[in-house]
Amino acid sequence: MAKEGHFRLFDLPDEIWVKITRYAVDHTPKQLPNQLGWCSPDLVRQPAVTRACRSLRVELLPYFYGHHVKLFLFEYHITKLYVPSPATRTWLSAIGPEHRNNIGGTRLFVEDGKKMKAMSDIQRALSCTIVIGEEITELSEDEERFLYGEEKVYPLRFV
C-alpha cells in the first residue's frame, strides 16, 4: 500500500492557493444585516479557513471584510441619532481598525440635510474617523429593502 502524504497548500503558486482559499471564503454563508438593518456581530464570523494560519488570515481577512461584510447605518427613530447598536460598536472595536477599514459594504441611509449630523454621531460613537462617499443611485436588493421614505444612500469608509 502506498504511503499517503500531506497536501501542502503553500507549495502551490501564490495565485493558485489564493484563488482556492478565496473560493472557500466566497462559499462561506453570506453575512447580511439583521431585520433592524444592523450588521449583527453574532452573524459575522471570520471564515474557518482564516483561522488555519497567519498567512491565510493576512491574505483573506481583508478580502472577507471587503467583499462579504455589510453594515447598514440609519437614524435610530427613538433617539434621532445615527449610532450603531452597542453590540455592533463592540464588534467594530473587537475587529480592530485594520479590519474595520476593510469593510466594503458599509452604507449610510440618511435624509437630505442630515449627512453631516450622521457623520458626527457615528464618529463620536465609534471614536474613529469616517469618510462618506458620493450618493449611490443604483441600489442592490438588500439596500432597497432598507430604504425608508426619501432617504439617500451613501458608502461609508472607516479611516
Report pLDDT for 144.
86
Q: What is the pLDDT of residues 5-30, one digit of tens each?
A: 788 889 999 999 999 999 999 988 76
For residue 31, the model assigns a pLDDT of 52
Q: According to DSSP H, which parts of the chain are helical?
A: 14-26, 54-68, 86-102, 115-126, 141-145
Question: Domain map of the chain by residue range?
Answer: 10-158
43, 40, 42, 103: which is closest to 69 by C-alpha? 103
Complete edge-to-edge strand list for the sheet that includes strand 70-73:
70-73, 105-110, 152-158, 130-132
Helix (H) or strand (E) holding 72: strand 70-73
Q: Which three cell numbers stand for residue 52?
A: 488555519
The pLDDT confidence band at residue 40, using thresholds 50, 70 and 90, is low
Look-up of cell digits 449627512: 115
Decide if pLDDT at 49 tops 50.
yes
Assessment of whether the complete model's pTM goes beyond 0.85: no
For 134, the enclosing helix (H) or strand (E) is none
Sign of CA dihedral 45, 49, 54, 57: negative
